[in-house]
């Protein structure tokens, strides 16, 4: 069922849900952007529907709700290690179709990648429900249609924003009772049917290892500056490192944290003894690209990249990852033509 609800009424639902859920959505942070006069749009706890920035693409994704930038994995008290005290929180997250698909990719990495399930991710993921924010137009650099992530059925509620009201589709039985008596409407969330840029994903069966040594990667050696903005804004990058923190008051006490890391940044592949697997930035671009469109697909049957375009939005060197995927596809097709 779908309903039309005025903003102030919807805010009373949010207030009620906030007793059981932490509610997150994309929020505009004035002056919090790259320069002092630019804003940031990232995921924060929200209280009112007006807190949500729905007219623009968020700079960071909902990834950090389920996989925080930094997280304590255990506490150290002299000889004793203990798990942090976790409240049994539930999460309600407003997000777009591509980002729901990105969470499906994170599920593969954290929950279905061999016999081990990541307990920190699992604890949050099992308690998370999605409110799908429909897209009625494609944003700059999106290529979700090419990646087949422009649509999803995986949500509890779907929403469309107007200035003073929302349309809401309620699929999850847990929320269905709540809206009884509200004004019913015909509504399902919007989704885009075309983007400004199209991407062709390479056929993994045709991809040859000679591509790993192709000259195309050299182009990125000089252009990339290893800032890692593409990794940290990507909803499907899940690499992390761990770091130990010792408290000033007592150096025998502290905590071990995991902290986001990224394959494009310096030191990511540094080993004891000084060896580093990918020192040059072209190799890092090759590794990232192949992981997103080749290795992951071979293992899980779907491309890791969901086409949100945030890496292209954020790169200070105007490196286009979408263009890079197309270049790989062109090379794969050329090679296969030559072989025939």
How many residues are given for the chain?
A: 340
**Beta carbon nearer to ligand SF4, 71 or 99:** 99
The residues facing 240 across adjacent strands are 260
Closest contact distance (angstroms) between CB of 144 and ligand SF4 is 9
Q: Can you say whether residue 289 is alpha, beta or left, with left for phi > 0 and alpha for psi between -120 and 50 degrees?
A: alpha
**Beta carbon nearer to ligand SF4, 125 or 292:** 292
Closest contact distance (angstroms) between CB of 321 and ligand SF4 is 5
Closest contact distance (angstroms) between CB of 288 and ligand SF4 is 8
Q: How far is CA 12 from the centre of its chain?
A: 29
Residue 159 near residue 189, CB atoms below 8 Å: yes
Q: How far is CA 57 from the centre of its chain?
A: 12
Largest CA distance in the chain: 70
Closest contact distance (angstroms) between CB of 190 and ligand SF4 is 20
**Beta carbon nearer to ligand SF4, 178 or 266:** 266
**Beta carbon nearer to ligand SF4, 106 or 234:** 234
| Burial class (CB within 10 angstroms; exposed 0-12, middle 13-18, buried 19+) of 184 | exposed
**Beta carbon nearer to ligand SF4, 5 or 285:** 285
Closest contact distance (angstroms) between CB of 317 and ligand SF4 is 4
Q: Footprint of ligand SF4 on this chain (CB under 6 A)? A: 224-230, 233-236, 264, 292, 305-311, 314-317, 319, 321
Q: What share of the chain is helix, strand, coil (3-state, %, to 5)?
A: 30, 20, 45
């Amino acid at each position: 069922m779908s309903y039309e609800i005025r903003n102030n009424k919807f805010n009373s639902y949010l207030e009620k849900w906030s007793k059981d859920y932490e509610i997150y959505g994309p929020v505009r942070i004035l002056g919090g952007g790259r320069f002092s006069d630019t804003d940031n749009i990232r995921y924060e706890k929200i209280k009112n529907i007006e807190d949500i920035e729905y007219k623009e693409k968020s700079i960071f994704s909902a990834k950090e709700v389920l996989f925080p930038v930094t997280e304590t994995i255990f506490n150290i008290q002299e000889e004793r290690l203990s798990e942090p005290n976790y409240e049994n929180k539930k999460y309600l997250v407003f997000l777009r179709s591509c980002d729901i698909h990105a969470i499906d990719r994170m599920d593969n990495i954290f929950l279905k990648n061999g016999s081990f399930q990541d307990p920190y991710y699992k604890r949050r993921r099992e308690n998370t429900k999605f409110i799908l924010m429909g897209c009625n137009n494609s944003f700059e650099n999106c290529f979700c249609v090419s990646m087949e992530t422009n649509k999803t059925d995986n949500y509890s509620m779907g929403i469309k924003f107007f200035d003073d009201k929302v349309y809401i589709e309620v699929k999850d039985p847990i929320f269905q009772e709540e809206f009884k008596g509200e004004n019913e409407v015909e509504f399902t969330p919007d989704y885009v049917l075309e983007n400004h840029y199209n991407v062709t994903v390479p056929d993994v069966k045709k991809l040859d290892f000679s591509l790993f040594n192709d000259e195309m990667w050299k182009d990125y050696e000089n252009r990339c500056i290893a800032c890692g903005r593409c990794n940290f804004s990507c909803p499907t990058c899940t690499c992390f490192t761990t770091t130990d923190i010792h408290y000033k008051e007592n150096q025998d006490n502290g905590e071990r944290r995991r902290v986001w890391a990224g394959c494009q940044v310096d030191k990511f592949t540094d080993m004891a003894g000084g060896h580093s697997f990918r020192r040059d930035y072209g190799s890092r671009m090759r590794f990232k690209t192949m992981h997103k469109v080749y290795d992951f697909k071979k293992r899980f049957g779907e491309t890791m990249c969901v086409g949100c375009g945030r890496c292209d939005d954020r790169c200070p060197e105007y490196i286009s990852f979408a263009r890079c995927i197309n270049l790989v596809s062109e090379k794969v097709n050329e090679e296969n033509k030559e072989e025939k």
